[in-house]
């Protein structure tokens, strides 16, 4: 009982690990909130559907539960793009995220995610791919679109593929406000996106959003753990494990314990997703 009391008092409100920070995309695996359609120009569960007024008939975006990556929870984003009248009419945008820089060092950003599409030729318009990522710093000092960073990505037809891109540095600044755009150019069909991970390296002091949700009603033990970490919390449906770079290492249904025997020694984040969509996190150490 004494051990549990001490664990309940162990609250983590953020972290910074060396010069690496992470987690600027809110709801990166679409687990927080409802599975629902996102209306045009509407925002649901920290994601917005944008685009032009014309040339996007038949376009829709949904957070859904029927076609998800098997290791990325129970929900995924699904975008339908039909009869696209030009490139980049369809955009899915993450919520804006503000964090501090040190005004001395540049920052570099890496984005990874799982994706699958029914498009039979996902490189029809460009050998680099018909979809692209745009990373915007809304506090940029470079002026206009010069502050954006972009990269094309290649999807695979009817097959989940992991995509990771590292963007050119953003200049040193006192503050940043980042948002991620997923843009569907000549992608024609149905595309799923899931399990987004993000990291920022360099002169930033960014706390992970999930860690700010640490919940004292969740008990984990033993901590440090050797081969098994036990957890106790009411109504937990799924769990996920992240390293301190914000990379997801495991996702599974909650059974009250986690096999940690294959993890390297170090610190990790346990994310607990409840049946009502609420999220709690705990930091643990693997010995």
Any idea where the domains of the chain sit in the sequence?
2-16+209-286, 20-205
Q: Is the pLDDT of residue 87 over 90?
A: no
Residue 256 vs residue 13, higher pLDDT: 256
Q: Other CB atoms closer than 10 Å to residue 248's CB: what's the count?
A: 21
Percentage of residues of the chain with pLDDT beyond 90: 37
What confidence tens digit (pLDDT) does each residue in 113-129 have? 999 999 999 998 889 99
Q: What is the DSSP code (8-state) at residue 174?
A: S
Q: Is the pLDDT of residue 191 over 60?
A: yes
Average pLDDT over residues 65-83: 89
- Sequence-distant (6+) residues with CB within 8 A of 161 are 114, 115, 116, 154, 155
Report if pTM > 0.75.
no
Comparing 81-90, 135-144, 208-217, 218-227, the range with the smallest average pLDDT is 208-217
Average pLDDT over residues 180-193: 92
Q: Is the pLDDT of residue 63 over 90?
A: yes
Cβ atoms of residues 123 and 130 within 8 Å:
yes
73: Cα within 13 Å, side-chain hemisphere: 32
The CATH number assigned to the domain with range 2-16+209-286 reads 2.60.40.3080
Question: What is the predicted pLDDT for the residue at 1?
Answer: 28
77-87: buried (b, 16+ CB within 10 Å) or exposed (e) per residue?
Answer: bbbbbeebeeb
Question: What is the predicted pLDDT for the residue at 174?
Answer: 85
CA distance 90 to 182: 8
Q: Is the pLDDT of residue 279 over 80?
A: no
Q: How confident is the model at residue 97 (pLDDT cuts 50, 70, 90)?
A: confident
Residue 204 vs residue 79, higher pLDDT: 79
Q: How confident is the model at residue 85 (pLDDT cuts 50, 70, 90)?
A: low
Q: Is the pLDDT of residue 4 over 60?
A: no
Pick the CATH number of 20-205 from 3.40.190.10, 2.60.120.260, 2.60.40.1220, 1.10.3720.10: 2.60.120.260
Question: What is the predicted pLDDT for the residue at 244?
Answer: 67
What confidence tens digit (pLDDT) does each residue in 22-31 have? 478 888 899 8
CA separation, residue 181 to residues 90, 94, 165 (Å): 10, 7, 13
Percentage of residues of the chain with pLDDT beyond 70: 82
């Amino acid at each position: 009982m004494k051990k549990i009391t001490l664990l309940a008092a162990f609250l983590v409100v953020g972290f910074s690990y060396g010069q690496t920070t992470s987690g600027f995309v809110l709801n990166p695996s679409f687990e927080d909130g409802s599975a629902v359609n996102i209306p045009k120009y509407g925002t649901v569960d920290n994601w917005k559907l944008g685009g032009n007024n014309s040339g996007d008939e038949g376009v829709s975006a949904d957070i859904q539960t029927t076609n998800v990556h098997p290791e990325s929870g129970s929900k995924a984003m699904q975008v339908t793009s039909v009869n696209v009248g030009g490139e980049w009419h369809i955009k899915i945008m993450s919520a804006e995220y503000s964090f501090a820089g040190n005004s001395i060092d540049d920052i570099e950003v890496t984005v990874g995610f799982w994706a699958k599409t029914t498009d039979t030729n996902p490189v029809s318009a460009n050998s680099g791919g018909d979809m692209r990522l745009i990373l915007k710093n809304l506090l940029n000092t470079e002026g206009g679109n010069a502050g954006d960073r972009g990269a094309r990505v290649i999807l695979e037809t009817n097959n989940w593929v992991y995509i990771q891109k590292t963007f050119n540095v953003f200049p040193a600044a006192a503050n940043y406000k980042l948002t991620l755009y997923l843009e569907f150019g000549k992608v024609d069909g149905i595309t799923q996106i899931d399990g987004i991970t993000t990291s920022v390296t360099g002169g930033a002091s960014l706390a992970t959003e999930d860690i700010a949700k640490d919940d004292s009603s969740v008990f984990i033990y033993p901590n440090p753990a050797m081969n098994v970490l036990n957890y106790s919390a009411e109504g937990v449906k799924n769990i996920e494990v992240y390293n301190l770079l914000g990379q997801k290492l495991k996702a599974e249904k909650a059974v009250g314990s986690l096999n940690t025997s294959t993890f390297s020694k170090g610190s990790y984040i346990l994310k607990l997703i409840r049946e009502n969509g609420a999220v709690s996190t705990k930091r643990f150490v693997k010995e």
